[in-house]
Each structure stands twice: as structure tokens, then as C-alpha cells.
Amino acid sequence: MKRRQWLAGAALTAVGGLWGGAVQASVFPNKTVRIVVPVAAGGSADKLGRTLSQKLTERWGQSVVVENVPGAGGSIGAAQVTKSRPDGYTLLLAGDGLALNALQGRRVPYDVEKDFSGVVKAVVNPQILVVRPDLGVSNLQQYAALLKSKPGQITLGLPGSKGSLQHLAHEMLSQRIGASPNYIAYPGGGPAALDVLGGHIDGTLITLAAVTEYVRAGKLVPIAVTTAQRSKALPNVPTVAESGFPGYAVESWQGIVAPSATPKAVVEQLNRDIVAVLQQPEISAQLEALGFTLAGGSAQQLDDTLRENLTGYAKVIAETGIQLR
């Protein structure tokens, strides 16, 4: 009798444990969520991360915090996320740098395709070439002439460090100009923009959203945007293609990824909630005014983007012979 009672009690305990686990798993999040931004504060990635953190905190009733972990072109922050528990509580604000770091022989401590699960591509965005007002140039033809007259002397900040999308984008332009600037690596868009504003460097190629307000205020001179179409945020700034380099187009993206073993149900909820936040009229208007274009889409679509970046950028680097080190 005692044995039967013990077995019955054990069975009830087990069922209760399973039920409790199921309830706990279905309530996400029930503690603080961390978004790792792998660049310094103040740039476009940081602005996007903090916007998401504020609105997700309001939506979930749980704290969502941003942690800036700059260094090694973003690979330090990315590696930190891959080593975290795959439960949805540690996320990475990612972009093109994930693929570009892996393509350049860097010893990154992760595999882009195996160690990350896409959550959502939040935005796509143009890069913009801006210079200090006293440099004496106001369009791409003048900028190209200056580079050719002073090869290697014009200083250009790279917010994503050497080997970044900005580096690739400018080298694609430099090949057609026939001259390159002196590249200066930075841990993010914020510090790069501040050094142009302070006159410490001549210009930067940077995500448009990081400098929209400075351009509108006349503190930075816009030269051209890298996308095939002009940005609605700065409609008077021409594209590189319009400025004498037809066929040129480079577009970047930013979004959220998680460690690869994160449960599918958690990934799907993160996707739904982040898309819902991005689609809030005041948030979409705020981001579009900065120069972002909302993307959205499924988690699988971001996985596809990561694979396409690996193959696409590898092809560009191979065909052009561009050296990004």
C-alpha cells in the first residue's frame, strides 16, 4: 500500500513538474532581456537598439536592457551572445558585419550559419558619405578630385572598423575613382561622427540614421548616399550612381539574432513582438525620419539574408580583388 501511495505521489509530482515547466515556458519573458549592441554608443545601431529596448519593456512589462560591447569589428559582442544560454534572454543587434568578419580570414569564435538563429530583420538603410564643412567639397566629383590630388592623405572614419561594410562600400568607390583615403577605424558610428564634427578627421562613410540630424543642421556636408534610390529622410542628397558612378549600389541591414538553439516558439514570439513594435505609427515614423527603412519579415527570411551575405559579399570581394585589412 505504501509503495502504491509513493508511486502515485511521484507520478503526480512529475505531472505537476511538467505542467509547471510548460506554463513557465509559455510565459516569455519572465525576467530581464539583454540586447547586445556590438558597437559603441551613439551610432545608428545603438539608436535602434535603445528604441526597441524601450518599447519592448513597455510591451512585456519586463526590463529590456542594451549593453554595448564594442571591439574587433563587432565580433566580441557577437561571440558573447553565442556563449549565452539559448533561451531568448540574450539577443544580438546584428548586421552585415557578421558575414564580412567571417569572410576575411579573421579568427571569429563563431560560425555565422551554425551559431545564430535569425529573429527579425528590423531595418535596411543607406550608407552616406559626409565630410566636415571646411574641407571645401560639396559633391562626389569634387570629393573624387580631392582624393586623386591627395592620395592617402584624406582621412575617412570607418564606424565598423576595417573590413566593415563601410570599408567595402568605399573601396568599391575608390576603385572607380582611382584613389583611396587614409582609413581610420572606429568602434562605432558615434565616435566616428564626433571626430568629423570636431575636425579631427575629414569625413566618414556611415549609416545615414547616425548623422541625419547633423546633416540637417548643417554641421556635416552630405556628399552622396550609397543606395540605388535617394533616402526619403534626406531627399536632396544624390546617390553615388547619380553622381557619376552608374551601377553603384550598396545597402545594409540591421536586425536581431539569437543563439542557434533558441526554441522556435521563443524565436517566433520575439519576431511577432518586435515587428509589432516597429509597426507602431510613432516608432515607424521616428525611424523613417532618421533614414531607416522598415524591413520586418519572418525569422527564416533573416536566416536567408545571412546566407546571401556570405555568398554575395564573397563574390564581390573575389571579383574586385578588394583588400579589406
Residue 179: give its domain's CATH number.
3.40.190.10
Do 236 and 130 share a structural domain? yes
What's the predicted TM-score (pTM) here? 0.85
Do 229 and 215 share a structural domain? yes
Say whether 228 sits in a helix, a strand or coil: coil
Last residue in a domain, options 191, 212, 243: 243
What is the Cα gyration radius of the chain? 23
Q: How many folded domains does the chain comprise? A: 2
Do 234 and 135 share a structural domain? yes
Yes or no: say if 94 and 87 are a contact pair by the CB < 8 Å rule.
Answer: no
Residue 236: partners with Cβ closer than 8 Å, 6 or more residues away: none
Q: Please, where are the H alpha helices in the chain?
A: 2-26, 44-60, 75-82, 97-102, 112-115, 140-149, 165-177, 189-197, 212-216, 264-278, 281-290, 299-320
Last residue in a domain, options 187, 218, 243: 243
Residue 291 domain flag: yes
C-alpha cell at 315: 563574390
Domain region containing 201? 126-243
Q: Give the CATH number, domain containing residue 66.
A: 3.40.190.150
Residue 3 domain flag: no
Residue 15 domain flag: no
Per-residue pLDDT of the chain in tens (325 residues, 90 and over written 9): 444 444 444 444 444 444 333 434 458 999 999 999 999 999 899 999 999 999 999 999 999 999 999 988 899 999 999 999 999 999 999 999 899 888 876 678 899 999 999 999 999 999 999 999 999 999 999 999 999 999 999 999 999 778 889 999 999 999 999 999 999 999 999 999 999 999 999 999 999 999 999 999 999 999 999 999 999 999 999 999 999 999 999 999 999 999 999 999 999 999 999 999 999 999 999 999 999 999 989 999 999 999 999 999 998 888 877 777 6
Last residue in a domain, options 243, 272, 305: 243
Do 135 and 148 share a structural domain? yes
